[in-house]
Amino acid sequence: MDMKAFITLPLYHNHGICNFFRAIYSGKSIHIYNADLPLTQSYLATILRQHRFEIFYGVPYALKLLSETDEGIELLKQLKIVMYGGSACPDALGDLLVNSGVNLVGHYGA
């Protein structure tokens, strides 16, 4: 994808490993969420605020957490692409994000 990335998926997950190799191939950095931390809106928002990512890779649950606040939606809107995988994105969540201006893309396992 040739973009600076942030991923919440583990590398043993197919969606996680394929995006990790995308970063290697493009020579762009990829920041991997610390699996020792709970996946929370607070941690996700803090990380997104501190870095200028271009693409976010996550599961729909991570998107749900961020969508619970206006700031979370704004942080997602600032990204070029928000890609989810691992499971389907609920219609209501997808509609909320897309109608809010998030460039949402479904990927592996969706």
Would 79 be classed as within a structural domain? Answer: yes
22 belongs to a structural domain = yes
Residue 14 lies in a domain: yes
Supply the range of the domain harboring residue 44: 5-58+69-91+102-106
Q: Render each residue's pLDDT in the chain as its tens digit; 110 residues.
A: 789 999 998 778 787 888 889 899 999 999 999 989 999 999 999 999 999 999 999 999 999 999 999 999 999 999 999 999 888 999 999 999 999 999 999 986 65
φ, ψ of residue 25 in degrees (nearest 5): -60, -40
Tell me, yes or no, whether 96 lies in a domain.
no
Predicted structure pTM score = 0.91
Q: What angle separates helix 70-77 from helix 41-50, to the nearest 10 degrees?
A: 40
Question: For the chain, what is the domain count?
Answer: 1
Domain assignment present for residue 48? The answer is yes
Residue 52 in any domain: the answer is: yes
DSSP secondary structure letters along 8-74: -S-TTSHHHHHHHHHHHHHT--EEE--TTS---HHHHHHHHHHS--SEEEE-HHHHHHHHTSHHHHH
Contacts by 70-73 with C-beta closer than 8 Å and gap 24+? 71/45, 72/41, 72/44, 72/45, 73/97, 73/100, 73/102
